Amino acid sequence: MSCSEDIKTVKLSNGKTAKVHTHLFINNEFVPGHGPLIETINPVNEEVICSVHSANEADVDAAVKAAHESFKNTWRKVAPSEKGRLLNKLADLMERDIDEIATLDALDNGKAFSVARDVDVTDSIGCFRYFAGWADKIHGKTIDTTFDKMCYTRHEALGVVGAVIPWNYPTMMAVWKFAPALAAGNCIVMKTSEITPLPLYKFAELVKEAGFPAGVVNIITGYGQTTGTALSTHPLVSKMAFTGSTVTGRKIMEASSTSNLKKLQLELGGKSAQIVCADADLKNAAVWACGGIFNNHGQSCNAGSRIIVHESVHDEFLKLFTEEAKKIKLGDPFESDTFQGPQISKGQFDKILGYIDIGQKEGAKIHLGGKRWGTKGYYIEPTIFINCKNNMRIMREEIFGPVVAIGTFKTVDEAIEIANDSEYGLAGGVYTKDLDTAIRVSNEVQAGTVWVNCFDVFDQSTPFGGYKQSGFGKELGKYALHEYTQVKVVKMLINL
């Protein structure tokens, strides 16, 4: 399909149609890109949705310079209260067009439309409103030093933020960066995943309608090795915010070190453990643990993909957990009762099936699933492995699919040791009725977030980020504002 014109009408799997932008969004205009055209694939039927323009080095440069000029001449001079008003206006427009944004999320990503609308986009709207409230409350302090001097601090915007987001939450991951960056007074150039660019171009349309000055928000797409590299090495970019794989995170760190020592925020991979203690409410644990791994088709960095169960309750928990997994409805994302759609791509589909094969060869036993679902689309059955040891690859490596590995433990000390025996540290969970155990495990597990008797629960006011090779820096909450500001100290001599 030619992309000579920006707006295309595309067909949904339910027979309806949607309009999509296919050009880059730079300086408040949709403009052609000069990189190769990229075909976006519908994971439901493996057919091409449309082709979108990608950004080459010159396009990236244009986007960064537009952001730089806007920051220097316009955005940093806009009153904080006005920034908050614009963020709230953007949230209002997203709420007005929630079905359209969710439709593009479901089309591009394959996730259930109901989940995209009621979770991803709804939470994104809440995120903008939360940070809109912070926009005029970012300030420093006066500090008493000596009698003849006045000292105060300023929390200043960084300038141009470069952001790279993954394909698993196309709208929500973007908003987690947009909202605090803009509230803190920065301009931004965001590279979408080349796999899921469509929802963010609809979002760009709303940015312009809301009245943001030109250059404040720029949205481009392209491949990591070209577009991403050009953005992460650009000398006018003051910070890179990245969500994605640990491998790519290392490359962005290298780019920072060889360019201008950009400030970095990296939210990377995970292999989160869910610990089910002997005294746990097993029914509750089964429900939450099931969501913890199978939400978003297992395509979540914080997915609770390792479940460690006390040996005395293993069989009962497994029975309840299996019952919950069997309730999962696979199908077309636009069917109202669908919970699990297809995996994102043929490459990810093949990778997950490869890990299922590896797990069997290593001696783990498939208790449920383990196969392709249907004959068309990148669907994989919810898969449960049992008899898993922590040295197995399916217990150590991020599969990023609907595959869970279940092992056992004898003591709480052993459970903590197993949970921490990982290069990752994004999240963890513990199910217990004992407060002492809950606090002890939460304190001892090496992870940025630990859920107790629940899992995968988020709120705009709660920071999120990892330990170890799961990255550093915090998304969400007041903590996120620190990632998008720098502190200046002013000392003034007073002539007495």
Please list the active-site residues: 267
The two beta strands, 160-164 and 239-243, are parallel
Q: At what angle do helices 122-134 and 80-96 cross, to 10 degrees?
A: 170
The tokens for 202 are 């609809």
Cβ neighbourhood burial of 200 (10 Å; 0-12, 13-18, 19+): buried
Closest CA relative to residue 59, chosen from 221, 241, 242, 202: 221
Residues 6+ apart with CB under 8 A from 118: none
The tokens for 225 are 């090795």
Which position has the token pair 């323009």? Answer: 53
DSSP per-residue letters across 375-443:
SSSS-B--EEEES--TTSHHHHS---SSEEEEEEESSHHHHHHHHHSSSEESEEEEE-S-HHHHHHHHH
Q: How far apart are CA 185 and CA 80, in angstroms?
A: 8
Residue 52 Cα to chain centre, angstroms: 22
Contacts 24+ apart (CB under 8 A), 381-389: 381/330, 382/294, 382/325, 382/328, 382/340, 383/356, 384/318, 384/321, 384/322, 384/325, 385/359, 386/318, 387/363, 388/306, 388/359, 388/364, 389/363
Q: Is residue 151 within 8 Å of residue 163, measured between CB atoms?
A: no
Q: How far apart are CA 157 and CA 136, in angstroms?
A: 13
Q: How far apart are CA 381 and CA 421, in angstroms?
A: 28
Helix or strand (DSSP H, E) at 125? helix 122-134
Q: Which residues of 160-170 are buried (b: 16+ CB within 10 A; e: fewer)?
A: bbbbbbbbbbb
Residue 437 Cα to chain centre, angstroms: 30
Helix (H, G, I), strand (E, B) or coil at 11: strand
Q: How far apart are CA 488 and CA 156, in angstroms?
A: 7
Residues 6+ apart with CB under 8 A from 141: 152, 153
